[in-house]
Amino acid sequence: MREALEDRADEPRYIETLPKYGYRFIADVAEADMAKLTVAEVGPARRILGKAAVVVAVFIVAGLIAKAVYRRSRPAERLTEKDIVLLVDFLNTTGDSVFDDTLKQALSISLNQSPFLNVLSENKVMAASRMMGRPEGKPLTPDLASELCQRAGGKAYITGSIVRLGYQYVVSLKAVNCANGDTLAQDQASVASKEKVLDALGVAAGKLRTELGESLATVQKFDVPLQQATTSSLEALRAYSLGRKEAGEQGPRVALPYDQRAIQLDPNFAMGNYAVGYDYFILGEVGRASEYFSKAFELSSRANVKS
């Protein structure tokens, strides 16, 4: 910048050095009326204006970089046990529909293991959505998440994405402050096959929990691998996810076929069996509900997870 203005550091006319802070533009600024300049003055004036434009552009870029550096260097904001977090729908760019709704459901299961995080329930999310006049079934994107999060008394929302890069699947998570849009934490993990995506999601979720303020001890204690906590079948988990979605929007009668499909794909899916039992219980078939509840309890005890 000094070279462009033919300035000197020891005798500055335009740019002053502020030790430990940066630089400051110190020259007087006045508006020039180009129409009144003589022919002899136009050339030098244009050169000066061109140089000034370069300096202004550099200062703008430098300011943006400084702002980014400040955001990265300041201490990360932590959550408390009283703070509510909202889960946002995943962005799936793989083209594989098996990940639709599935990863959000799996993330919810993973984060709800935490005694520290207070994840907003789907019922409360839907209630807040109705207050906003948001159509039911419409994906909850980050654009809508901030307002909905604040309406529900939340502190942050967590969004995720999955992309495919060659043979690799990359799962990314990010926690964002609902009020100001600042990133509180972000993590990602990658795996070489579709069957290992739940493993990657579990790893990223564990890292995110510690960055948000949860102690490493509780993360290690309450972090059952997702395939163990749910199912190793992505198709079964997708059916279960669709069932939970329909249960909230249409009721248990519509959800039941999806939940039944989930346990057909994986009979040892504890949460799937519990969902079928719950559907039957709400529909008044207590006897059938009891059978599935018992099986769900047996399977969850064996896996050391909660239904």
Of all residues in the chain, the percent with pLDDT exceeding 70 is 79
The pLDDT value given to residue 74 = 47
As given in the structure block, the two tokens for residue 283 are 């529909």
In the chain, the domains with their CATH numbers are 2-73 (no CATH), 84-229 (3.40.50.10070), 243-303 (1.25.40.10)
CA–CA distance, 33 with 31 (Å, rounded to integer) = 7
Q: Which pTM was predicted?
A: 0.63
Does position 52 have pLDDT exceeding 80, yes or no? no
Residue 61 Cα distances to 20, 54, 58, 67, 68, angstroms: 19, 11, 5, 10, 11
3-state DSSP assignment of residue 125: helix
φ, ψ for residue 156, nearest 5 deg = -150, 155
As given in the structure block, the two tokens for residue 129 are 């959505």
Does position 232 have pLDDT exceeding 70, yes or no? yes
pLDDT digits (tens, 9 = 90+) for 58-104: 555 555 555 555 444 444 567 888 888 998 888 999 989 889 889 99
pLDDT digits (tens, 9 = 90+) for 188-225: 898 998 888 988 898 899 999 999 988 888 888 888 87
**Sequence letter at residue 208:** L
CA–CA distance, 183 with 72 (Å, rounded to integer) = 10
CA–CA distance, 225 with 190 (Å, rounded to integer) = 16
Query: Taking every pair of C-alpha atoms in the chain, what is the biggest distance, in angstroms?
Result: 99
CA–CA distance, 107 with 102 (Å, rounded to integer) = 9
Does position 126 have pLDDT exceeding 70, yes or no? yes
As given in the structure block, the two tokens for residue 170 are 């990359």
The pLDDT value given to residue 143 = 73
CA–CA distance, 74 with 80 (Å, rounded to integer) = 19
CB of 270 within 8 A of CB of 307? yes
CB of 111 within 8 A of CB of 87? yes
pLDDT digits (tens, 9 = 90+) for 138-152: 677 777 888 888 888
CB of 94 within 8 A of CB of 164? yes
The pLDDT value given to residue 93 = 92
3-state DSSP assignment of residue 191: strand
- 255 versus 74: which is more confidently predicted? 255
